[in-house]
Structure 1
Amino acid sequence: MAAGQATTAVLAAAELTDTTPAGGPGCLAHDADSLPDYALWLYRLEAPGLVHEPVRLRRGATPCGPLVVATDAVTGRCPSAVRVAAEPRADWSLWRLPAECLR
């Protein structure tokens, strides 16, 4: 059932590990307003070295970092969000948010 729904976790882990100061764990945000509850847990299993935090983008919450797992609804909060990769068997993707969307 979970196959093809958290494949972008590897990309997130590689990018966040390379960019965090002192090699500390990076934080991957998960849009709780657009994802099913189980999606966060799939990513935790695939990328256990990251911090995984739910965020409510529709309510204006600020993500913990520049990478967010969300549906296309993320563009409502951040029109300049860039899709890094889509999940082959899910409605969500890994998105990169520019600095202006992290305030």
Structure 2
Amino acid sequence: MTTASQTAWPEGVIARYVTIAGTADGGRTAVELTETGLRDSEWAHTTIAKCTGCHEEQREGWQTTVYYFSGTEGERTVREAAELAEFRSREWAQAHAAKCRAMARPESD
């Protein structure tokens, strides 16, 4: 029986999407999601999706104010805002990973 080797996730990474190049390098090249803040805090922060191959990134701010087409606005909790930002970041990461062919630079000894 053959088992696939896994690359350990760096500290703070909440999700990884292996890119096309990552399938050839044992999963080193991936889009990694991190967050700049705590979901239980009072302050909104950012969810970041960054490719370890081409270094392209997408940032989703945790927007707590909601603007409606009617011109009114409402509020969402920091946790709700973080979940929405994570959802959007995961969508971007999945789409980027499906097409990126850039490989991560090998680590030096």
Tell me whether the two structures share a fold, i.e. TM-score over 0.5. Answer: no
- Smaller-chain TM-score bracket: under 0.3
Give TM-score, length-normalised by structure 2: 0.24
Q: Which structure dedicates a bigger proportion of its chain to helix?
A: 1
